A and B are shown apart, each in its own frame.
Chain A
Amino acid sequence: VSGTFSSLSGALSALRYNRVAMDVASGNVANAGTEGYTRRSAIAQAVGAPSVPALWSRWEGSAGGVEVGGIARMADPLLAARSRAEHAHLSYLDSRAASLVRFESTLGEPGETGVAAALSAFKQAWHDVANQPADEAARTQLLGRAQTLTATVSAQGRAVSTEWSDQRARLASATDEVNQVATDLAKLNEGLRSAYVTETDATTLLDQRDQLAQRLAQLTGASVRTNPDTTVDLTVDGVPLVTGKTAFQLVAAGSQDMAGAAASPVTLTLGGQPLPASGAGLEGEVGASYDLLTRDLPDHLAKLDDFVATLATETNAQHMGGVDLDGNAGQALFTGSTAADLTVAITDPRAVAAARPGMGALDASNAEALASLDLGATKYRTLVTGLGVTVASAKRVAENQTVVTAQVDASRESVSGVSIDEEMVNLLAAQRAYEGASRVITTLDSVLDTLINRTGLTR
């Protein structure tokens, strides 16, 4: 049995619902450009017979109204997890490639300004001394070129340690940001928990939660587990970063410059537990900095030092086998065996040992023999080529990862993004439905008018 005014209440519920639908559409349009916004959708739910029939009464209504079943947040948790993983890897690769590219550009190879050119010039100077053993100008030039060689080598060594210090500072600021964001997320977890208990709308909080989790994934490659009460727990390489409302501190300890790194290596701890915990390695910006600090840059410096040691040893061995212009046995030409401490030990041009002992004062066979030595040139070439391969592959992998990440982001955007066209259509549909419901009220009003004002009147 339909009540007199029940149709009016049905129309009223339609007015209410469509206003909500228009509100949602306008909210979506307003946030079309908001970072991390997930589009909402008003769920319509028809009001009809109760789902659990009562024992003594029956539902005899013919039509009910409509009500807002909820505001759905159009997010795909699986895509979000995938996106976090891809972003974590991308930021790792990007940070690493950027650092390597920056450092590579300081090499100056192949060209006329690098170590290889300085080494060639050094060898040429030995030939010149061999050609003119009595000429002090040739000997002075040789010492000058040796100085240039040590200067270019130490410049390259300095470029490595500068990049190291740079990365160390980055690691420090990245850990600061991680701790800040993790603390924010722990607070947010608390809010989410109480919103869940009180059943209030938490869609904005959920957007924030996903954004913070995404940022932490970019920074550390953290993996995220969503709890039934909508809070999230994060772990980095198996070690907890955020658990409920507790955030654990990520601490980067150790030397601030490369020289001290041997005595006090850079270490990461999360809540007191050492990272990386497994052999898989860390992801994200923190992982990139950590790998550069503990692996890539020290490896390069070790290879450079190896080249320098070869250069110094080969030169000194040959040089000390000769005699100088005054007949004295040759001294070591270089002191030091690393890029940082390589220096030219001889300042007097007459002390260059061009001759072999007992072969005459102006013998130049020692200089000639020295000029034809390799002096580590092959090692240096291998070093540069190796770095080139590393940088090229880092760049290529980062480019590939960019494409993969863009695809995942597109899929995610396809589900969660706001389409203005779609919102316009939704808005129009709600507007028309609103107009329709108003029309229903007008019609009912006229029906009731007839019933109330005209029924029974006979004039």
Chain B
Amino acid sequence: MSTIRITQRQIVSRSLTAMQTSAARVARSQELLSTGRLINRPSDSPTGTNTAMRLREQLAANAQYSRNASDGRAWLGRTDNTLTGMIDSTRRARELVLQGASTGSIGPQAREALATEIEQIRDSVLSLANTQHLGRPLFGGTTAGSQAYDPATGAYVGEPAPSQVSRTVGDGISVRINTTGPEAFDLNGTDLFGILADAADRLRTNPGQLSTTLDDLDAVMKKMTTALADVGTRYGRVDAALATVDSATLDLQSNLAEVENVDIAKAVVDLQLHEVAYQGALGATARVIQPSLLDFLR
């Protein structure tokens, strides 16, 4: 027999296969649309899975970098404010010392008043130096204590160098966010608080030495200003890193959406297409299965 015999069973099994195939396509389109995701399991697209997992990992890291940077910014901002306040106070103290140094125009009682004010300035600067951020002294480095300087003696009680607090703000980018007391206020063995105490003493007892005090105050203010500039620079770095991380996060999210998410318009059109094919298969089956020669024999 040269022609291929087509039997009823063949038609039935072919129709079943065709309907199953079409139904499977419709189900796949439905899954895509209802989950909204192109990759529901690794085998849907192994390379896509790899990309998606890398993007997700990076996104999680970036979210953390962003939090780290915000946290670091708060610490640096607090340091900036505190240092600015301390520099202002120190400048006021220098003016007072300058007044006291003009020996010809001022009497001992006036100097006593100046000394008292300087002592008050010293106390306020010292308490500023003990400013806490989230329970930790800003200038104490990695100390577990609550103070950077002893409020009574003015001695540094924070953690000695290297006493670094830093935040990771990007892959392999770690920015130091703290400034320790000695780094900002220390001047060759003596520090801001010692100089101010000396200034009050000299105003009372030895006004002739006040010019040395003025030199010391200038030097320590220069050091504080440098520290302030350094804090500003690091604030800028953290800010820049934050901006980079945020824009990278947007890019990563759109990449992830491209890899993982369904193009709704395409999925809807595909569903329509598969539905039509499915209905076609159903219709064809209904027409093909019914007739046989029996219908036409009398």
Contact = CB atoms under 8 A, between A and B. Distances in A.
A104 B41 contact: yes
B49 A388 contact: yes
Nearest to A393: B43
Contacts of B9: 32-33, 413, 417-418
Nearest to A132: B134
Given A124-B60, A361-B159, A428 B297 contact: yes
Looking at A117, A131, A391, A428, the one whose CB has the most chain B CB atoms below 10 A away is A131
B168 A371 contact: yes
A110 B52 contact: yes
Contacts of B13: 406, 409-410, 413
Interface stretch (B64-72, B225-233, B239-247): B64-72
Interface size class of A (residues with CB under 8 A): 35 or more
A384 B71 CA distance: 35
B166 A424 contact: no
A109 B294 contact: no
A417 B56 contact: no
A410 B143 contact: no
B124 interface: no
Contacts of B5: 414-415, 417, 419, 422
A363 interface: yes
B212 interface: no
Nearest to A97: B43
B8 interface: yes
A419 B5 CA distance: 8
Chain A, interface SS category:
helix
Contact of A414 (B6, B71, B163, B297): B6
A387 B292 contact: no
Contacts of A260: none
B63 to A, nearest CB: 8
A123 B61 contact: yes
A130 B56 CA distance: 22
B283 interface: no
Given A107-B42, A385-B50, A425-B293, A121 B60 contact: yes
A387 B5 CA distance: 44
B292 A421 contact: yes
A132 B172 CA distance: 20
B57 A134 contact: no
Contact of A109 (B47, B49, B292, B297): B49
Given A117-B56, A361-B144, A361-B159, A424 B294 contact: yes
A127 B64 contact: yes
A104 B7 contact: no
B166 A365 contact: yes
Contacts of A123: 60-61, 64
Interface in A146-173: none
Interface in B112-159: 134-136, 141-144, 159
Nearest to A131: B71
A134 B68 CA distance: 16
Contacts of A32: 8-9
A388 B42 contact: yes
B164 interface: yes
A417 B10 contact: yes
B43 A381 contact: no
A361 B165 CA distance: 11
Interface in A313-368: 355, 359-365, 368
B39 interface: yes
A110 B166 CA distance: 32
Contact of B46 (A124, A130, A388, A424): A388
A131 B164 CA distance: 12
B14 interface: yes
A131 B167 contact: yes
A101 to B, nearest CB: 7
A418 B14 contact: no
B54 interface: yes
B10 A362 contact: no
Nearest to A108: B41
Nearest to A384: B42
A203 B131 CA distance: 101
B135 A110 contact: no
7 contacts: A105-B41, A109-B49, A110-B49, A120-B56, A120-B61, A127-B64, A362-B136
Q: Ordered nearest first, which 7 A-B pairs have the shortest CB separation?
A: A360-B142, A388-B42, A388-B46, A417-B7, A361-B144, A391-B43, A360-B159
Given A381-B53, A385-B47, A395-B43, 17 more contacts: A32-B8, A101-B41, A120-B56, A123-B60, A124-B60, A127-B67, A359-B164, A360-B144, A360-B159, A361-B143, A384-B42, A388-B44, A391-B43, A410-B10, A414-B10, A417-B9, A420-B8
